[in-house]
Structure 1
Amino acid sequence: MDPRALPPRLVIDPTLPPVISHELRSSQHLLRVARSGRLPDTRHSALIFLLPGLLLALSLLTRTPLLFLAGTGVGMIVLFRWMAQDTYNRSTRRKLRAAQAHADRYVLPEDLDHPCQMLLRRAQNAAETVLGSRVHAAGLIDTIDNQVSLPEEIWQIAHRLRRLSAMHAEQGRIIPRELPAGMEDAFRPYTKALDAAWTSLARRVRHLEKYAKQVRKADKAYSAHRRLEALAARTPEYQALIADTVRDEMAYERIRELTDHAAHVRKMFEESILQARQAAGELIRTPLT
Structure 2
Amino acid sequence: MKLPRKVKLVEVGPRDGLQNEKQFVSTAVKVELINRLSAAGFPNVEAASFVSPKWVPQMADGSDVMQAIHRRRGTIYSALTPNMKGLEAALAARVDEVVIFGAASEAFSRKNINCSIAESMERFRPVARAAKDAGLRVRGALSCAFGCPYQGDVPVASVVSVAQMFDELGCDEIDIADTIGVGTAAQVGTVFDAVTRVIDGSRLSGHFHDTYGQALANILAALETGITIFHASVAGLGGCPYAKGATGNVATEDVLYLLDGLGIETGVDLAAVVAAGDFISTALDRPNGSRAGKALLAKAAA
Shorter-chain TM range is: under 0.3
Per residue, is there more strand in 1 or in 2? Answer: 2
Length-normalised TM-score, structure 2: 0.18
Per residue, is there more helix in 1 or in 2? Answer: 1
**Structure number with bigger Rg:** 1
Work out which structure has the larger RCO, using CA pairs closer than 8 Å and 6 or more positions apart in sequence: 1
